[in-house]
Structure 1
Amino acid sequence: MPSSSDLTAAPLYFELTPTADAATEVDHIFVFRDTGALSHRGSGRFATDLFSLSVAGGCGGTLISLAPPRPDFVPRPSSFCGIVAGLRLSVRPERLPGTGALEPLATALGRVRQSDDGLPSLVAELDGLARALTFAAPPQAFSDRTERRRAREETGVSRRRLAAVRRFRLLLGRFAGPALPLSDLALDAGYYDQSHMSASCRAFADRPPGALRLQATARAFGPSLQDGKIKDRIRLVIMDDRKE
């Protein structure tokens, strides 16, 4: 993974809804830039129930990888330092893009290491990637038992664990919305009560719900992301609250 030594821009994680012409299997695009401030050791905040098609750039060149859902019930052993961007997918794509298609994306990714000014170009490249991916036809319906087995074979974890990740991710999105009471947010995200939500927040992110809401609250970007075509697509923003 690239070193953080050449990262001069502030830690940032955000998700955007895909464009209307993207493949329906694309849930969202994401950009994650960090020096260990957001993804500290022991945190599972960036767990996901989706496949992650990620592009990272460093001294070794541009790397593209496809990772299965990552539940992060086991705390991460180290913090993330670097920058990565990509797509979150509901299923595996038929094939990964060729190396030639990555060159413009790698250039855009490199610009974002130093400044937010390159974010619009990076988003445009990710949108192009979302349009270019192809997926196999969905399989026929299976019995519940078979679905459980297939989920474990495909992702390595049970559907119950994936459901817990999905519930936590939904909560993060709710934190970025209107400031509702925590008890209402808990029920809205599918938790039994506020205590159940608090336990989940500490298990995934080692922080209480109130602290997470401070970081996941939607807020204005700089001029580079004020364009309505991008700003209106923002679904989740997480910033380092210690720098505000």
Structure 2
Amino acid sequence: MTADIQTRFARDTAQHEMTVLHTNGLYRHLRFKNPTNFAYWFDLITWPGCLTIRGDLGDSYTFSRLPDMFEFFRGKQINAHYWAEKLDTGRNSAKEYSEDLFRQLVTEHVAGAIRHSDAPRGIGKAVRAEILDQDLTVEAEARDLLEDFRYQGFEFHDIWEWSFSDYTRQFLWACHAIQWGIAQYDARPASSSEAAAVARLRTAWQSARKRAAHASASMPQCPTCGASCTNRTHDRVYREQGY
């Protein structure tokens, strides 16, 4: 589906132009749109540690990972699974039931059973007639078909463990938009002062994280809760350890 989305994205944004609404180090606000209409416009907004994409794409997404999130997304490959892990709303927020994935998993499962001689003759035809040829647009109804299927002793087990969720087209489109938008931004001439501002903010961010990590590591491991803590109910333990 990623290749299909890439083609769709290229078509949707063929006439898009970039407008830099704001840029100050790691604080950026970029807009991409067709100058003649608002179809498929989108904004990329960054601040230290975060990037948000919003616009005419259905949903907005905010990612958190590196001080400069442009560094996180730069490249030529779309890594939807890894990127989704950095969503503030969690990876599953970028997924939905996929009929295509349902058909794929059922077909692969049956093919595997046939290959290992764990299925009776005619199983493929039966599965197609009773499941794959049915309306599978609603996940609950599709799962019911799997649960109820019986054919000469063959049935599907542990259906509750099967996941038929895949990344939404909107999310994959957004992934392409982010990477493409960053490439457009990088292609423009950047002033030396802008590059210096980004470097200063990145260094400040990294220094702050190191100080926080050092402060946490300097705390003793509390025997009561098994971690560094300042819980006053554990104060006696700390006094005994000399803190």
TM-score, scaled relative to structure 1: 0.22
Report which of the two has the higher share of helix: 2
TM-score, scaled relative to structure 2: 0.22
**More contact order relative to length (CA 8 Å, sep ≥ 6):** 1
Rg (Cα) greater in structure: 2
